[in-house]
Amino acid sequence: KQWYQRRVAITAGGVILRDSHGVAQVKAITGTKILRILKAKGLSSKIPEDLYHLIKKAVAIRKHLEKNRQDKDSKYRLILVESRIHKLARYYKTKTVLP
């Protein structure tokens, strides 16, 4: 709970538990995964972590393209990242994780 209140990502929280506290797998000890524990306590985020990081990456690429309009590779990578965002959003909508 402490590392989550500091806005550490769920995956980084697992790394902290592994490196600092010697917990190899949270599921092996508690029987449930970290995300399910956080959801039960009402501490989970609104959007899934993987979707959040893809959106963050797309924003960074768009910011880069504002300065470097001729960067064709970044334009292509932005298309790929945005298609992954749409695919993941469609998946989460079918699983009713997103409204």
The larger pLDDT score, comparing residue 9 to residue 82, is at: 82
Q: Output the pLDDT for position 17.
A: 77
> Cα–Cα–Cα angle for 31, 49, 92, nearest 5°?
90
Range 66-92 average pLDDT:
96
Least confident window among 9-13, 48-52, 82-86, 88-92: 9-13
Count the neighbouring beta carbons within 10 Å of the beta carbon of residue 79. 12
DSSP state letter for 97: S
Residue 68 CB coordination number (10 Å): 10
| Under 8 Å between Cβ of 61 and 49 | no
Separation of alpha carbons 30 and 35, rounded Å: 12
| Predicted confidence (pLDDT) per residue in 23-70, tens digit | 788 778 878 887 777 778 777 778 888 899 999 999 999 999 999 999
Q: Give the pLDDT mean for 61-86.
A: 97
Cβ count within 10 A of residue 46:
8
